[in-house]
Amino acid sequence: MQLRALDAALITLALLAATYTTYTSSSLTLTPALTLPLDASRAYANGHYPLESERLPPPLVVDVAGDARAEIVLARPVPPSVEVHSLADGKLASASLVSRLRTSVSRRPVALGAGFVTPRTTASLPGPPRSRIVVVLTQDWTVLAFDGPSLEPLWETSLADEVPDWLTHRAAALLVTAADGGTVVVGGRVDGQEVMDASLRTQSYADTEDVSESAESGNGVPSDNGDGQSASNIPDDDYDTTASVAAANHFSYFALEGGSGKLKWAHSGASFHDDAHSPHYVPHVDGEAHTGEVPWREYRAAVLAHLPHRWALREHTSLSVAHFAKGAARPPTRAEGLELVHLAGISLEDFGIAPHDEAEHVVSPNVIVAHLEKGVEVLHLDSGATLLQLPLAPGAVYADVNGDGIIDKVTASTSPRRGLAGPDCLGVAASGTPTVSPLFNVSICDVTVRGELERMARG
């Protein structure tokens, strides 16, 4: 069958177009947009690279000015400071972290956060433009808050007294949220085998049974601290400022008022624990027991919604707000639609950022979800009491791989493993926590590359 002239013309045109696009297409090129030097000889003890305890918190790419344009917020070790940079204008502001009173203490930054502490406005409830605040946690457990655009100091709160320099942070994270009237949540764990002697402010509860009963009512999320009094209204006399932290490997939490830095509640090693002889005592695999804590399976759907989980580096430590209720999972949703007014002024050229945080899409947040080295821990937002814990080992990825509602563990191995057939470079999936049965193992290395490497090794 002969082609018609029109068909031949179309085929010729298609071939010409394909040839043109092949020779004129350009590859993606990445060029540095911002370079900030760091003097390693002053920043690190060995003068070359940071030890684990010397690593700085990752920079933040966030709109701190509220103009829908991204800025870079970063921390400096020497002298301890925080800076805001713009791709177009360079350094916009900087602020020192050095204490004016205690000049001998270490103010090395260990965690960095930014966010809103006031609710977002809507078309029906208009208000002035918001700007994020920048929060820094330093090695001596001092929390400093700054106004986002200018880094003008807002408040400073010390959570500990006389922290020794050798006691460094194993992990730390900050959460800045407009939830619960505006809250800054500080989480951290110190590195060391001995008990931390610093006087962390620890909340004392007179009646732990009331907390347990409150946690068991409704959907398991109490609305007060267990004695009918809101945690934010507890006077300073109700805090024990001389009690030391329990074990150094305990991850401690502190909630501060976003506007003033005043302590709302604290959760340290000695907080929310039942007496071993109490009928409410529930033993845990890690030796910890918290008043009102329930098995994580009671909130299985909500926990699964916050996977995958992976912890291999201190930077993987994170805090977020969520809504937990028994029964079906309630995924993060928009409290209300985003009005067009919120999109005004967004410039794609400047990496346009919406003037709200993703956490503000969570309807009625009532818990804090912490991804830690020991696994996942969920705390009540208004009191800091532990709702549940999911122990998970570091290094692996945990997720519901096959959608059966069971948490699976996925690991990678690049060396020979006894009992596994096939190539040494494997991805291994197992079902259950703890592991109940294997799911599959599959090669994750390129066969051609492996063959070439083996051939080169043989000479």
Residues 407 and 363 in one domain: no
How many helices (H) does the chain have, and how many strands (E)?
5, 23
Distance CA 372, CA 393 (A): 10
Q: DSSP class of residue 151?
A: -
Residues 410 and 318 in one domain: no
Q: Which range among 7-11, 164-168, 338-342 shows the weakest confidence by mean pLDDT?
A: 338-342
Q: Which of 395, 415, 441 is the last residue of a domain?
A: 395
Distance CA 227, CA 231 (A): 10
Could you tell me the pLDDT band of residue 420, with boundaries at 50, 70 and 90?
A: very low
What are the strands of the beta sheet with 168-177, ordered from one edge?
168-177, 183-191, 252-257, 263-267
**344 vs 141 pLDDT, higher one:** 141
Cβ 97 vs Cβ 80: under 8 Å:
yes
pLDDT at 83 over 80: yes
Q: Which of 343, 376, 395 is the last residue of a domain?
A: 395
State pLDDT tens for residues 121-157: 665 556 667 789 999 999 989 999 999 889 999 999 9
Please give the pLDDT value at position 41: 86
Could you tell me the pLDDT band of residue 360, with boundaries at 50, 70 and 90?
A: low
Residues 279 and 171 in one domain: yes
Task: Say if 286 falls within a structural domain.
Answer: yes
Residues 376 and 248 in one domain: yes
Mean of pLDDT over the chain = 74
Cβ 390 vs Cβ 303: under 8 Å:
yes
Q: Return the structure tokens found at 336.
A: 């209300």
Task: Say if 27 falls within a structural domain.
Answer: no
Distance CA 231, CA 203 (A): 9
Task: Say if 384 falls within a structural domain.
Answer: yes
Closest CA to 169 of 107, 126, 218, 98: 107
For the residues 183-205, what does the mean pLDDT come to?
Answer: 59
Q: Which of 358, 376, 395 is the last residue of a domain?
A: 395
Residues 433 and 306 in one domain: no
Residues 355 and 418 in one domain: no
Residues 304 and 445 in one domain: no
State pLDDT tens for residues 287-320: 455 677 899 999 999 999 999 999 999 999 999 9
Task: Say if 233 falls within a structural domain.
Answer: yes
Could you tell me the pLDDT band of residue 52, with boundaries at 50, 70 and 90?
A: confident
Distance CA 390, CA 377 (A): 6
Cβ 154 vs Cβ 146: under 8 Å:
yes
Residue 348 phi, psi (nearest 5):
-65, -30
Task: Say if 278 falls within a structural domain.
Answer: yes
Q: DSSP class of residue 139?
A: T
Distance CA 229, CA 227 (A): 6
235 CB contacts (<8 Å, ≥6 apart)? none
Cβ 39 vs Cβ 48: under 8 Å:
no
Distance CA 259, CA 84 (A): 21
pLDDT at 28 over 90: no
Residues 382 and 454 in one domain: no
Closest CA to 163 of 213, 136, 118, 198: 198
Three-class secondary structure of residue 71 per DSSP: strand
Residues 139 and 106 in one domain: yes
Task: Say if 354 falls within a structural domain.
Answer: yes
Could you tell me the pLDDT band of residue 37, with boundaries at 50, 70 and 90?
A: confident
Could you tell me the pLDDT band of residue 355, with boundaries at 50, 70 and 90?
A: low
Structural domain including 383 reads 40-395
Share of the chain above pLDDT 90, in %: 35
Residue in this structure with the two tokens 């909500």, named with its chain if needed: 302
Residue 417 phi, psi (nearest 5):
-125, 130
Task: Say if 427 falls within a structural domain.
Answer: yes
Q: Return the structure tokens found at 204.
A: 């004392």
Residues 52 and 192 in one domain: yes
Closest CA to 273 of 254, 285, 255, 287: 287
Q: DSSP class of residue 353?
A: -
Please give the pLDDT value at position 416: 59
The total number of structural domains in the chain stands at 2
pLDDT at 220 over 50: no
For the residues 238-254, what does the mean pLDDT come to?
Answer: 56
| Burial (Cβ within 10 Å: 0-12, 13-18, ≥19) of residue 309 | buried
Task: Say if 20 falls within a structural domain.
Answer: no
pTM of the full structure: 0.72
Cβ 448 vs Cβ 429: under 8 Å:
no
Please give the pLDDT value at position 66: 77
Between CA 424 and CA 436, with CA 433 as vertex, the angle to 5 degrees is 65
Residues 266 and 367 in one domain: yes
Residues 342 and 434 in one domain: no
* Cβ atoms within 10 Å of 418's Cβ, excluding its own: 4
